[in-house]
Every structure is written in C-alpha cells, then in structure tokens.
Structure 1
Amino acid sequence: MTSEESRPADAKQRQRAAQRAADPAGGPLTTDQGVVVDHTDDALTVGERGPTLMEDFHFREKITRFDHERIPERVVHARGAGAYGYFEPYRSCAEFTRAAFLQDPSVRTPVFVRFSTVQGPRGSADTVRDVRGFATKFYTSEGNYDLVANNFPIFFIQDGIKFPDFVHALKPEPHNEIPTGASAHDTLWDFVALQPETLHAIFWLMSDRAIPRSYRMMQGFGVHTFRFVDAAGRGTFVKFHWKPRLGVHSLVWDEAQETMGRDPDFNRRDLWDAIASGDYPEWELGVQLVPTEDEHAFDFDLLDPTKIIPEEQVPVRPIGRMVLDRNPDNFFAETEQIAFHTANVVPGIDFTNDPLLQARNFSYLDTQLIRLGGPNFAQIPVNRPVVEVRNNQRDGYHQSLIHSGASYSPNSLSGGCPAVGGGDPRVFAHLQERVDGHKIRKRSPSFDDHYSQPAMFWHSMADWEKKHMIDAFRFELGKVGTRQVREGVVAQLARVDHELATAVARGIGVAEPERRSDTPEPVRSPALSFENNLGDGSIRSRQVAVLVADGVDAAQVDGVREILGIGGAVVEELAAYDGTVRDTEGGERPVTRALPTVASVLYDAVLVPGGPDSALAIAADDAAVRFLRGAFRHGKPIAGLGAGAGVLGSMELGGVRVAGGGNGEGVVLDQGVVTDAGTGPPGEEFGRAFTEAIAAHRYRGRSAIND
C-alpha cells in the first residue's frame, strides 16, 4: 500500500519489467517469425480510408494471438497469486525420509507458491469467505515435488467420487450463475444438510480462518496423510503443516465485505507489495509423524481427510523454513500456467490409501491436459524441473523439444538410451505393502463419525471466535431461500452442540432444536484457536495510517516513523487531499494517499499526531472520523499524540480512557488505544506501548468489534 516513491525496490522491479517487455531480446519489434516490424499502430489498407488488407501478416498474427490469449481457468482455485522463494531444512531428516531436499541445511531448494481462493472465478474478490489454496512446487535435485495444501487441515468430503457433487453445489446456482465467490446460497447448504461428512470443514469455513488478513498470515496444511519413506524402505505416516512467522490473523466479516469494495485485490496486492519492498514472508514447515504400527491408535481413521490429528496427541515437529523473495515477471506465464499435481512426489515421499487423495492423483493431471493444451505442459518454464528430463514421451500439442533417436524401450539403435535407473540411488520406489480385499463400493465404518471433530473445533474456540461463527452461520443460512434447507442444517448442528444450533436457529427464523443425548462430550484442542497462533510478536510489514493535515507536528510524525520503521512497519500519511500538507516546521510533507481513496479496513493501525491546527482539521473531517471509528470498531490499535490524543478523547470511543486534561499522567494504554497528551516527540514509553499494541493485532474485548 506504500506509494512507488517510498518503495524504491518496487519501482526498480517495475522498471526492469517494463524494459524487458519493451525490448526483451535487445532489438527491434518483430513478428513471431523474427521479421522486423517498423509500424504497429495501423493495419495495411487500400488508401488512407480503404478496407484492411488480409495480406498484412503482422496484423493477422497480432490479432490471432490476441484472440487466443486466454486459456480455460481452473475449475476451482481460479483466482490466485504466486511468488518464488526457497526452502531449507533445519537439519537432516534421514531418520524418517530419504527425500534429498530434506537432508542438508546448507542446500536451498527453489520453490514457487500459489495462493488462491476456491469458489470464485478469476475476476472475483480476494476477501470472500472461502477456503484458501496454498500450493508449493519444490524444484528439487530429484525432480519436482508438489505439496498441494489448503489453509484448512481437512476437506469437505471423504471420497473423491463426491468431488464433482460438492463443487457443483458450491459453485454459483446453475440457473442464474449467482452468487460469485460466495458460499451463502441454497445448493451448498442443501448438500451440507444431506452430507454430514462436510460438517468439520464447514465449521472451519464459518470461522475467521476463512477470511485471512493476508496470505502471509495464513497457515497451510497438506490435508491428507502421506508417507515418508527412509533409505531402508521403512514408512512413517506424515501430515504437513505450514506455519507463518507473522502469526495467524484474520479479517472480521464486516471488514472483509468492505475490503471487497475498497480493494478486491487486497490479498494479492499485500503479497506483491511485501515482497517488492523486501519484507519477505516466511513459513515454518512442520510435520506430524505417526509410526506405521500406530495407524489404528486413534479414535478416528488416519486416512480420513475430514479429520485432524490433534496437536496435543501428536505434536508438530518443525523441519525447515520457506521464504518467498521474488515476485513473478509475468502473471500469465508463471502464476496462471503453473500446474500442481498431488502425484508429483520424489523418492522418500509416498501416498496412502486415502480415497480422496487417490482421486486427486488422477484429477489434477487430467485437468491440466485440457487447461494447458496437452501433455507437454511440464515444458512450460514455471513447471520445468531443474534436473534433466529424459524419456520416450514424444510429440503432442506444444512440444518444444527436438528429440532424436529411438522413442521406445528397450532399444539397441540409440544405445539403449534412455535406460532405466537400475541401481541409481535416486530411483523412486513405492513403499511395498500387502493389499487384500473384495471389489466393493462401501466406505469403512471407521469413517462414520462426522460430529466429534466439529464439536472439538467448536469447543476449542475463544468466546469471540464462537460469536463470529454464530454470526457467520446466521449470515450464510440467512441467504438460503428454502426453509427446509435451513432446518436441515440446524438439525445437523444440533448433533454437534445444542447451544450453537439454538443460537443459529434464533437468527434464521426456524424452530429451535430439541436437546440431543448423543452430542459429543466437550473436548478441546487449544492449537485450533487464533489466540494460540499469534506468531513471533513482530510488527514487520504491518500497515499503519497516520492522519495528517496542515499544521501537523513534524517531530511527532517523524518520531513515530522512526520507531515503527525499526520494527519493520510500513507507515503512510493520509490527508483529505493528495499532494502535500504544511507541517509545524514550515516544511511540505508528501501525502501518501487521499482519505477518500482508502479506508481503515486496509490498515492494521492508525495514529493521530499532534499540532493544534491539524488536529482540529481531522476532528472536523467526516472521512477522518469515519476512518477512526472504523478502526476502533474492528478492534485495531489506535494512537494519539498531543492534540491528537484530544481528538480521540472527543470521540468517546466506547468509554476508552485517553490521556489529556492536564493531568500529567503520561502514556495511557486502554484496550489498544495508546495516547500521550505531551507536545514533544514520542518517547520510549509511547513507542513501546504502540508497538506492542500493533503486534497484538486486534483488541477483541471492545464492545463494538462484533457490531
């Protein structure tokens, strides 16, 4: 959100990209065949006003290429944002996997990560209530490994044969293609009422996990149970976890909806700007490891993708970190054309018999064949492994390699090449296991419990999280037009928790359910609550708005900039108009943005500095007051210095105590509102209090936050 003038790294990156686009080969503009073109503004015509001639090959090529620029968007995860980076392990993981990229802490493995929403098309907004994709391609020394994750650790269905049904129910209604990028409609909730296996994921969807503040503040989960395989061929069950260094933070629903209008690209812009400015996002990769002999040691099936292993039962073991440090040069060529596949594994990582995973191993490849025009999509640069590829797969659409020699195996005409690996230690070998059984269409009874884990999620939430979930259920079901669907969902909720179901029923106008005797006993997993995932306590890359007007106290603004800059926060000065404002030193301060173009939902904190004239102007500006009240309502840190503290005091923000009135009390911190009525530059105590308030992200205790 910082302007290009204050983001030199971003400006340089844009300049380099523009240069490459204008002159990618260091020469003049040419056709696709390399013919130099000296004019591209007018087509060849008969005279100045005559018909266009089809012999103008440059015109025909340019228009044809334009006509075919678009490729089919993904059926799900269509809207995305991506970045390059690297992964490095903390130590060798040889005790449980032979995967080469998990062995040497001194070796950095390049990665590309694509974040995405699920339901909406490419043109939908970022901040909808939805699952978020978190797919990582590791370009390892043994080939590409794709960890295709979501920001929920579980899925909506247990068997892949139900995936078309679920997605059809989730997508816009077939008769009117409404709603876009939203789950609040009849078909989804009808599916939920009839398929209780969806409930666990639905509880995550109704939580604030579904509206992340930033991709950089979002967890990722591999969803399925995979296997690690060591050098001796021994297997260990594994679940993958990405944990952001900045902590797990969300928007609140009212804020998310306003952000859709103010900046529908909020999350993708946030990721791009952070990387461009050098605030490289970082995640820690952790694993939950389960020995083979403990496969049946839980009260749920380890292969059920609608279940988690509570971290209190199997702790997450950190094994490495990932840093994203480079933005793509071309969205289409990289972020849009990257192709992930759950079956892209390397030696040391293998599959289990999870029925949803088996289906995804087919579906991902099948989808890319039509979306990217044929079987050669792995030759697209962003999909290409860093190791040499040698096989007999030839020809097809978009083949970019020129092969020679025999295209079959075994052969003698090409010296037997390419030959199978034989004794090469890099050879992939599936874990050997015995599988017996009759061919049947029947799910294991161990997959039958659909209520215990949604109940655990519910009981693990803090009170404010529970209120947000009730509000979310009421909002979503309030959009459902069919009464029987509303009643069906409430009946399912009653099997999870009576108080929850009753609260939802009251909000959507259906009969309150009777108390059931078979609801699960309250079990808690503290790791599921936001309150236990706040990160490292830093303010790095947090966006802080400073409201300024003519007569603003220059020393106070500069002092706050210095204090927050040390912590890595991004400070922007907002005024009623673009341009500059005069400060108390007689200087002209550049305005980052005009207040009418932004809103408090785009920032993490706000400051009103001193200067009597500036403070009076801000107190009289409806846009500035609305900005402050919005920040307060959403629980965000607010600060006031000098006369700015008086502005906050005059607003009577929920009875919060502020400094002022000549009482000499110094810095006051109350419910995330930090004030100091002094007229000098901000002191160490104020800086520490404001920094700690920003690190806390939100103050949930304010009565107005849930309005």
Structure 2
Amino acid sequence: MKEKKRLTTEAGAPVNHYQDSQSAGARGPLLLQDYFLHEKLATFNRERIPERIVHAKGSGAYGTFTVTHDITKYTRAKLFSKIGKQTKVFTRFSTVGGEKGSADTERDPRGFAVKFYTEDGNWDLVGNNTPVFFIKDPKKFPDFIHTQKRDPHTNCKSPTMVWDYWSLNPESLHQVLILMSDRGTPNGYRFMNGYGSHTFSMVNDKNERIYVKFHYKTMQGNKTFTDAEATKLKGTDPDYSQRDLVDAIEKGDYPKYALKIQVMTLDEAKNFSWNPFDLTKVWSHKDYPLIDVGEIELNEIPANYFQDVEQAAFAPSNLVDGIGFSPDKMLQGRILAYPDAQRYRIGGNYQALPVNKCPYATNNYHRDGAMRFDGNGENSPNYYPNSFDNNTEDDSYKGVNYELDSNIAGYFDRNEGDDDHFTQPGNLFKIMTPEAKINTINNIVGAMSGISGSKKDEIINLQLCHWFRVDIQLGMGVAKGLGVEIDPKLLR
C-alpha cells in the first residue's frame, strides 16, 4: 500500500478542505480569507506559458548520442573525442505553422532539435526535417510566418496569403517543392530524416577551420503519408506523431538516427557554384559526400510533458568549443531570435530549468530575475573581476580568428548574383519516382485551388511561371490540374 501524503499549499501548510471553498454558511458567499482557493485558481490561470510562435506543438524524448566514427581531424569538440563516447541528449520534434492544438499530420515542415549535454556546455543543433528553408534572410521571417498563420481579418488559414507570398519570393521554390511532395507529410517522427540545415563551421586542435552541414538519417527507414492518409488522420488521430513516439519508446522500440556531416574547405566555399551559406540551397552529396559520425538513440519519454517538452528551450547560439557559426544570414538572425524568444516565453532564467540546464558546472555572474531558484550565486560576488573568488578566463577556449570576406557595411540584395532559384528544385523533381511526381503535382494543385479573391489569377499565373521554370512537366501538370490552358508555343 502506498504511503499516504497530506495535501498542502505551495507554502507547505496542510489543506483539509481541498474541494470545498470557505463560505458564510452552507449557501452563503465565499470568504476572501480562503487563501487556498485563491492560490489554486491563480495557479490554474497561469498554467499556460505563451506558446511558441512557431513549433508550438511538439513531442520530446531523452536519449544518448554515441560516437561511431573518428572526425577529430575536423573538430576538437569533446563530444566527438573518441569512438564509443556517449553523450546524453534531449530531442524535440514539432510541426511548424500550427497552434498547440493542431494536428500532427498537417502538411508542414517538422522541427528536429537536439540538445547535447556535453562537458563543455550544452550544444543545441536546432533544425528541421528538410535541408533547406523558404527564405534566405532573417528580416523576411516575420512576414513569412504571418502568411502561415491566420488571416487577421477572417482568423482562418489563407491559401491566398501563402501562395501570394511564395509567388513573390521564388527563393522559396526548393522548400515549397519538398513540402508539396509526400515528404511534407511524414509518417510520424521516427521515419523522417533531420538536418541542421544551416552551414556551420568546425575547428580542430590545430586551429584549422572548415565548414560543415549536419544530417540525421533515420535508421527506421523513411515513411510518408499520402495527402489523403494525412488528411484522414487529422480527424481520426490528431496526436498521431506524439502517440507513435511514446508507444514505440515505452515498448522498447527505440528510434535511432545516424548523425552524418558534409564538409567543405574555405577555398571550396569561395569557388562553390552557389553561395554555400544560402539556406535555400543544398550541397551535392556527390561532390560533398556524407561522412559517418555517430548514432542518436531515443530511449526515455519525460515523466512530465510540460516540465521537459513544453519548457525545452533550444537556441543555435548554444555552441561548444570546436563548433562555430558561418556567414549564413539566417543562422546569424537565429543567434538573436531564439534566445530572445525563450526569455520572453519562459523567463530570463530559462536555462536553469532541468531540461535546459547544463549538467556540468556553470559559473558566471548572472543574478536575479524571475524564478531564480538555483541559489542565485548565494553570498559570492556578483561582479568580475573581483578580489574574493578565483574565477579566471580559460585561454584554451579562446577560439580562432578569421577574416571576413568584406569590410564594407551595407544592405545587399540577397538575390544579386545568386538568383537561380530553379535548378536545384528542378533537379529534385527529376529524381522523383513517377508516383512521387504525380502526388507532388496533385498536392500542389490541391493547395493552390484554395487561392481566392481579386488577385487569384495574378497569383496563380505568377506561381505557374515559377513551376514551369523548375520543370516543364511539373508546370504542365499543375496548370492542367488548375484548369489553366497553356499555349505550347510559349514553352518553346
């Protein structure tokens, strides 16, 4: 028999009337002095922290990362220091555009974020299930996300907003094509790949620097839903992905992902066909083959979803020695935006929460702020330098100086000299199977059929021009599906 535990207030005082409020007589009004009633209702009112603007609905699990191959010639990061080394991880999967109550099988990119708890601090590899993104400059991000959310007039999702924006930003074509394929509706989180997406850098123990992209390849095999299957599940099991992940781990069928990298030298980056830091482009696997690194195994569902999954906070700014940034403009924008979002959503001390806290010693002079529950530095000095403690800067973590490509500050057109938005999505469409091509065309037609309003024809025609430039077969298929007649002479 379980030991009985008495009910108490948050301050620890015993509560002997948990279900009945204090009143003036059995039928009388309630009394202000029933402080536990106030505590209970006030706490309930604050149960929901602001949901994430994007990636609001997610699933998470703890696990381990194990090094299987030696990459120390590229990086001195300690988590890769030897084969067999294990590092605890927390992974959060998510949809991107929907609210917290949205369906798991929406046609949407999927977030795939991994927090590595290393002895040099936490490393957050915050990515998606696609290697590219819709835009290449962070200043465009709020506008793009507005189109994925609700129309400020109708408060409904608007295909017109979505396609108007995409048609006016052809840099989105590569990601849109992936989204409109069956990869846009993955079968849960266990059967999809993940990508760091951005270009990062690595530094080895000789201070040699290279650029790198991270990939997680599902070891369960890729599985997707057709549009019809995904739509059916939205109504019959909107929490499909969450349920699938929990059920698999609880029965010991642990999801695994192979971590791989692509590397590019600084000289290769200068001579690359496209801007190697452009988030709308990929590096060819033929020219820059995948290199095996290790395996991620997810083997523990958090005991409490809110504590760990909802309060999990990832930021690309969380790097460790041996891994660095690159000139990727979208990455540079996320260095600011992500920690700022977490401080707004959870509070200034969000990294002290168990799921976000580095399990190794941390030492700095940050103090105070809401929800400071970790000792707050106790009676030690809150400034540096000082004459009382013996804290020092560690020169062995000084980092590597590097030259910038330019010393001219200005606003540069993101597409000037880099406006080929069509070759890579065209190459992707060409390697699709005949079935995948048909499904992709049908998905595009279904999505574009929702465009309405006075600008309908203008938006459709502009987007059709983009599809034709990607691939003639793709353009003709979409045009036919939308009932738009195309003069073959115009395609010569």
Is TM (by shorter chain) over 0.5?
yes
* SS of corresponding position for 1:383: coil
Q: Deviations over 1:367-396 (max 9, x none)?
A: 1111113x1110111100011111011111
Cα pair distance change 1:368/1:286, threshold 3 Å: same
- Any conservation in 2 of the 1:229–1:431 contact (CA below 8 Å)? no
Name which of 383, 386, 404 aligns with 1:411. 386
What is the rounded CA distance, in whole Å, between the counterparts of 1:386 and 1:430 in structure 2? 27
Amino acid at match of 1:468: N
Displacement, 1:511? 3.4
Match status 1:95 vs 2:95: no
Displacement, 1:233? 1.2
Q: Deviations over 1:561-602 (max 9, x none)?
A: xxxxxxxxxxxxxxxxxxxxxxxxxxxxxxxxxxxxxxxxxx
Match status 1:328 vs 2:309: no
Displacement, 1:44? 1.2
What is the rounded CA distance, in whole Å, between the counterparts of 2:11 and 2:183 in structure 1? 50
Match status 1:43 vs 2:16: no
Name which of 364, 371, 395 aligns with 1:398. 371
- Any conservation in 2 of the 1:133–1:150 contact (CA below 8 Å)? yes
Amino acid at match of 2:8: T
What is the rounded CA distance, in whole Å, between the counterparts of 1:394 and 1:430 in structure 2? 30
What is the rounded CA distance, in whole Å, between the counterparts of 1:216 and 1:431 in structure 2? 40
Displacement, 1:36? 1.7
Match status 1:489 vs 2:458: no
Name which of 432, 442, 453 aligns with 2:424. 453
- Any conservation in 2 of the 1:498–1:515 contact (CA below 8 Å)? no
Amino acid at match of 2:444: F
Displacement, 1:165? 1.2
What is the rounded CA distance, in whole Å, between the counterparts of 1:278 and 1:28 in structure 2? 36
Displacement, 1:129? 0.4
Match status 1:259 vs 2:268: no
Instruction: Give 5+ residue unaligned stretches, structure 2.
Output: none
| Superposition map of 1:353-392 within 5 A | 353-373=327-347, 375-392=348-365
* SS of corresponding position for 2:386: coil
* Counterpart for residue 58 of structure 1: 36
- Any conservation in 2 of the 1:502–1:513 contact (CA below 8 Å)? no
* SS of corresponding position for 1:329: coil
* Counterpart for residue 125 of structure 1: 103
Cα pair distance change 1:358/1:516, threshold 3 Å: farther
Cα pair distance change 1:298/1:513, threshold 3 Å: farther
What is the rounded CA distance, in whole Å, between the counterparts of 2:299 and 2:72 in structure 1? 28
Displacement, 1:113? 0.5
* Counterpart for residue 161 of structure 1: 139
* Counterpart for residue 82 of structure 2: 104
* Counterpart for residue 654 of structure 1: none
What is the rounded CA distance, in whole Å, between the counterparts of 1:121 and 1:320 in structure 2? 34
- Any conservation in 2 of the 1:498–1:516 contact (CA below 8 Å)? no
Q: Deviations over 1:109-151 (max 9, x none)?
A: 1111000001100000000100000000001111000000100
* SS of corresponding position for 2:466: helix
Cα pair distance change 1:364/1:468, threshold 3 Å: same
Cα pair distance change 1:514/1:411, threshold 3 Å: farther
Cα pair distance change 1:468/1:173, threshold 3 Å: same
What is the rounded CA distance, in whole Å, between the counterparts of 2:124 and 2:219 in structure 1? 22
What is the rounded CA distance, in whole Å, between the counterparts of 1:303 and 1:368 in structure 2? 26
* Counterpart for residue 509 of structure 1: 483
| Superposition map of 1:207-286 within 5 A | 207-286=181-260
Amino acid at match of 1:451: F
- Any conservation in 2 of the 1:495–1:516 contact (CA below 8 Å)? no
- Any conservation in 2 of the 1:501–1:513 contact (CA below 8 Å)? no
Match status 1:471 vs 2:446: no
Match status 1:420 vs 2:398: no
What is the rounded CA distance, in whole Å, between the counterparts of 1:52 and 1:149 in structure 2? 52
| Superposition map of 1:536-575 within 5 A | none
Name which of 55, 58, 62 aligns with 1:84. 62
What is the rounded CA distance, in whole Å, between the counterparts of 2:209 and 2:290 in structure 1? 18
Match status 1:299 vs 2:273: yes
- Any conservation in 2 of the 1:498–1:513 contact (CA below 8 Å)? no
- TM-score, reference length from structure 1: 0.67
Displacement, 1:171? 1.4
Match status 1:462 vs 2:446: no
Displacement, 1:517? 7.2
Q: Deviations over 1:20-69 (max 9, x none)?
A: xxx8xx83221111112233111111222111112111111111100111
What is the rounded CA distance, in whole Å, between the counterparts of 1:319 and 1:111 in structure 2? 15
| Superposition map of 1:515-526 within 5 A | none
Q: Deviations over 1:142-161 (max 9, x none)?
A: 10000001001001001111
Match status 1:116 vs 2:94: yes
| Superposition map of 1:573-612 within 5 A | none
Following TM superposition, the consecutive aligned residue runs of length 4 or more in structure 1 with deviations greater than 6 angstroms are 515-518
Displacement, 1:516? 6.7
What is the rounded CA distance, in whole Å, between the counterparts of 2:487 and 2:468 in structure 1? 7
Cα pair distance change 1:112/1:516, threshold 3 Å: farther
What is the rounded CA distance, in whole Å, between the counterparts of 1:28 and 1:408 in structure 2? 43
- Any conservation in 1 of the 2:6–2:14 contact (CA below 8 Å)? yes
Cα pair distance change 1:297/1:432, threshold 3 Å: closer
Instruction: Give 5+ residue unaligned stretches, structure 1.
Output: 1-18, 519-707
Match status 1:196 vs 2:165: no
Q: Deviations over 1:205-254 (max 9, x none)?
A: 11111101120001001111100110121111111000011111101111
Q: Deviations over 1:231-279 (max 9, x none)?
A: 1211111110000111111011111111111100011100000001110
Displacement, 1:509? 2.4
Cα pair distance change 1:213/1:47, threshold 3 Å: same
Displacement, 1:96? 0.6
What is the rounded CA distance, in whole Å, between the counterparts of 1:514 and 1:59 in structure 2? 74
What is the rounded CA distance, in whole Å, between the counterparts of 2:41 and 2:321 in structure 1? 46
* SS of corresponding position for 1:447: coil
The structure whose Rg is larger is 1
- Any conservation in 1 of the 2:56–2:96 contact (CA below 8 Å)? yes
Displacement, 1:428? 5.4
Aligned sequence identity (%): 38
What is the rounded CA distance, in whole Å, between the counterparts of 2:131 and 2:150 in structure 1? 25
* Counterpart for residue 308 of structure 1: 282
What is the rounded CA distance, in whole Å, between the counterparts of 1:486 and 1:350 in structure 2? 42
- Any conservation in 2 of the 1:82–1:335 contact (CA below 8 Å)? yes
* Counterpart for residue 407 of structure 2: 437
Displacement, 1:446? 4.4
Q: Deviations over 1:578-633 (max 9, x none)?
A: xxxxxxxxxxxxxxxxxxxxxxxxxxxxxxxxxxxxxxxxxxxxxxxxxxxxxxxx
Displacement, 1:71? 0.8
Displacement, 1:514? 5.4
Cα pair distance change 1:513/1:397, threshold 3 Å: farther
Displacement, 1:434? 3.8
What is the rounded CA distance, in whole Å, between the counterparts of 2:19 and 2:464 in structure 1? 62
What is the rounded CA distance, in whole Å, between the counterparts of 1:254 and 1:436 in structure 2? 50
- Any conservation in 1 of the 2:468–2:475 contact (CA below 8 Å)? yes
What is the rounded CA distance, in whole Å, between the counterparts of 2:255 and 2:325 in structure 1? 29
What is the rounded CA distance, in whole Å, between the counterparts of 1:331 and 1:90 in structure 2? 31
- Any conservation in 1 of the 2:69–2:292 contact (CA below 8 Å)? no
- Any conservation in 1 of the 2:136–2:278 contact (CA below 8 Å)? yes
- Any conservation in 1 of the 2:92–2:309 contact (CA below 8 Å)? yes
What is the rounded CA distance, in whole Å, between the counterparts of 2:286 and 2:204 in structure 1? 26
Displacement, 1:432? 2.6
Amino acid at match of 1:450: H
What is the rounded CA distance, in whole Å, between the counterparts of 1:354 and 1:261 in structure 2? 39
Cα pair distance change 1:515/1:306, threshold 3 Å: farther
